[in-house]
Structure 1
Amino acid sequence: MNIVIFGANGPTGRILTEQAVAEGHMVTAVTRHPETFPHQNARLQVVRGDVFDLSSVEHAVSGKDAVLSTLGVPFSRDEITVYSQGVAHIVQAMNKYNVRRLVCVSSSATEPHYDPQGGFIFERIIQPTIIKTIGKTLYTDMRRMETLVKNSKLDWTIVRPSGLFETPAVTPYKMAETYIRGRFTSRADLANCMLSQLTNDQYLRKVVAVGTFAVKPNMLKLIMREAFQKKH
């Protein structure tokens, strides 16, 4: 399949690109800084682009079979628009060139569910603090993005991970529609989940939650990393 990945130079985007090439896809990786992109392959084209620039988005989308978005920015108290504006341009470009399949990353924090197994500190202190304070503008924009995607006429899937962290390889992760009882998601698992949507219609025009259960990260390190680096 001929696919384009937006947010390809982020932590998840790089893993997604590597996995997609390994699976035999032709991949166009879009990044503002192609000179820093770590991967090279005969099936990989790295192009300079910015989701705020509609013309560069259209150029990247033209002729593709599917679009995958791992757009991400750090938490900020300032207004964030990269998710909604970026995906608005992606949807516009897909409509222009009749590209149907869209898979994009959001977050379980856009629609939090109480989990009694999460523990008092996480459920009552950590999660509300992140969602309502340092992550407020980010998750607000993610919700705008989700609404835009759901209102499109595309063949979309929204993927919601939780507490992204690193694992050296894909684990036996789990998926469920809308919500899954899990606080963490490996980036490798998230990338694999996204790719699986290209050949499976189970979650077509649905939200799918993905969780990692075989391993768990250090909670404090995870929070610090998520607060100060790109989300995806």
Structure 2
Amino acid sequence: MKLIIFGATGQTGQELVKQAIAHGHTVTAFVRNPDKLELTDGKLQVIEGDVLNQEAVNQAMQGQEAVLTALGTESLSYSGFLERSLLRIVNAMKVNGVDRIGYVASAGVDQELPGAQGLLAQQILKNPLKDHRQAIELLKQADVAYTVARPLRLMNGPLTGLYRQTDNGVPEQAKQINRADVAHFLLEAIEQGEHVRSSVGLAE
């Protein structure tokens, strides 16, 4: 499968790239700074560009079969960056006839974190969560085959394949998940056509 990955230089994005290549996919990494992408492979094409540049995203989307995005924000302030980015990505999908997308969001985007700690986390992260929420709403309105991952606190451990998932809220008595497992979940969803138009909570 031909996959284009946005946010490929981030820690979760690099896991997506690495695992997609290992699964035999042809990968295009659309990045702002290619120097931050540590991976090289014959199945990997790196395109330098700005995700807010519609024409650049349109061109990069040509010939792709599915999209993965692990874009994030760099501060706790509200920027609207994720919504604006997803607008360009969805527009490019429509222009190029691409229907499938996997999106890495965050637990809390549905205000689903339980207890006092959950409420505190949702308050601290209210601006990034708002941006994710608006981007996800855009995906829903665009009528594309999306899968949203809502992971709990992201860790840098190895792929375990032992994570739990739920369509409602987050897995019980859970605190974290490895980025490698989040990448594994989204790739499997894309490959197997699962969790279409679903938002899935993930944790160990």
Quickly name the TM-score band, shorter chain normalised: over 0.9
Query: How many residue pairs were aligned?
Result: 202
Structure 1 CA distance for aligned equivalents of residues 113 and 105 of structure 2? 18
Contact 2:70 2:103 in 1 (8 A): yes
The separation in 2 between residues aligned to 1:174 and 1:2, in whole angstroms, is 28
**1:168 correspondence with 2:158:** yes
For 2:108, what is the secondary structure of its paired residue? helix
Q: 1:153 aligns with which of 143, 153, 159?
A: 143
CA deviation profile, 1:13-66 (whole Å, cap 9, x unmatched): 011100000110000011101123100000001110221111121111111000
Q: Separation in 2 of the partners of 1:7 and 1:141? A: 15
Alpha-carbon distance in structure 1 between the residues aligned to 2:63 and 2:105: 25
Q: With the length of structure 1 as denominator, give the TM-score of the two structures.
A: 0.82
Cα RMSD, aligned residues only: 1.4
**Structure 2 residue aligned with 1:216:** none
Partners of 1:165 and 1:186 within 8 A in 2: yes
The aligned residue for residue 179 of structure 1 is 169
Measure how far apart 1:177 and its partner are: 1.4
Structure 1 residue 129, shift from structure 2 partner: 2.9
Matched, 1:86 2:76: no
For residue 30 of structure 2, what is the aligned residue in structure 1? 30
Cα separation, 1, equivalents of 2:198 and 2:168: 8
Structure with larger Rg: 1
Give the whole-Å Cα distance in 1 for the aligned partners of 2:60 and 2:12. Answer: 19
| Distance (whole Å) between structure 2 residues aligned to residue 128 and residue 201 of structure 1 | 33
Structure 2, unmatched stretches of 5+, are none
Identity across the alignment (%): 29
How has the CA–CA distance of structure 1 residues 46 and 13 changed in structure 2, closer, same or farther, with 3 Å as cutoff?
same
> Retained in 2: the 8 A contact 1:52–1:89?
yes
Deviation at 1:156, TM superposition (A): 1.0
- Partner of 1:75 in structure 2? 75
Gapped regions of structure 1 (runs ≥ 5): 116-122, 213-232
2:131 aligned partner: 141
Which amino acid is 1:20 matched to? A
Normalization by structure 2: what TM-score?
0.93
